[in-house]
């Protein structure tokens, strides 16, 4: 707003160009690959330096004494270094983000695979458990039937043993009877032979 007011004031009063304050015309040069400004009007350099030295009190760091120009140069160097450092950091951050995204994708795939493997293991475990239960039931049924057969066979064995004992006792009795009868037959034969004589 002040610039517009000054322009309108100059137009209205008819201020000549020659009365306007001189500008410092700067040319740009390249020194060692850096762009440097060169002052055209040499007589204005000293007042500019005085002005800049006055700014030192306001902007300078007491740890780094020197002129305002040196301060600005230092700040500019720091900014350039900072910009290059930030650019390299941005590149590394970008690379790290890409790696992070790739690792996250791999992690998602790995989790899916792990989930599928866990599900398959669980299904196999359930199938094996069911098969084990079936085999256990079958074995218990077989064991029960074997035990029942053993009981039946043991009862049969006891019965057969009793029969055998009875048969043996009957045989023994028969043998005793046969021996007794043979002895009686022998006596009767002897008596008959005596009677015939």
Q: Which residue has the higher pLDDT, 111 or 37?
A: 111
115-173 confidence digits (pLDDT tens): 999 999 999 999 999 999 999 999 999 999 999 999 999 999 999 999 999 999 998 98
38-87 confidence digits (pLDDT tens): 444 445 556 766 776 676 666 656 665 666 667 777 788 888 889 989 99
Q: Which helix (H) or strand (E) holds 184?
A: helix 68-196
Say how many Å lie between the first and final Cα of the chain, rounded: 186
pTM above 0.85, yes or no: no
Please give the full DSSP string across 111-168, using - where no structure is assigned: HHHHHHHHHHHHHHHHHHHHHHHHHHHHHHHHHHHHHHHHHHHHHHHHHHHHHHHHHH
78-91 confidence digits (pLDDT tens): 888 899 899 999 99
2-22 confidence digits (pLDDT tens): 444 445 544 544 444 444 444
């Amino acid at each position: 707003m002040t610039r517009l007011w000054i322009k309108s004031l100059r137009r209205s009063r008819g201020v000549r160009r020659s009365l306007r304050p001189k500008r410092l015309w700067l040319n740009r040069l390249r020194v060692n690959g850096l762009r440097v400004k060169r002052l055209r009007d040499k007589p204005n350099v000293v007042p500019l330096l005085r002005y800049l030295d006055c700014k030192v009190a306001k902007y300078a760091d007491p740890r780094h004494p020197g002129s305002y120009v040196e301060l600005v140069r230092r700040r500019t160097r720091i900014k350039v270094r900072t910009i290059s450092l930030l650019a390299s950091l941005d590149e590394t951050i970008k690379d790290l983000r890409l790696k992070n995204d790739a690792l996250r994708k791999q992690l998602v795939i790995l989790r899916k695979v792990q989930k599928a493997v866990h599900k398959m293991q669980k299904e196999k475990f359930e199938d094996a458990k069911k098969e084990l239960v079936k085999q256990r039931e079958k074995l218990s049924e077989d064991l029960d039937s074997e035990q029942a057969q053993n009981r039946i066979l043991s009862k049969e064995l006891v019965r057969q043993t009793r029969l055998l004992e009875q048969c043996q006792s009957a045989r023994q009795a028969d043998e005793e009877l046969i021996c007794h009868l043979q002895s009686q037959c022998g006596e009767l034969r002897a008596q008959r032979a005596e009677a015939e004589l």
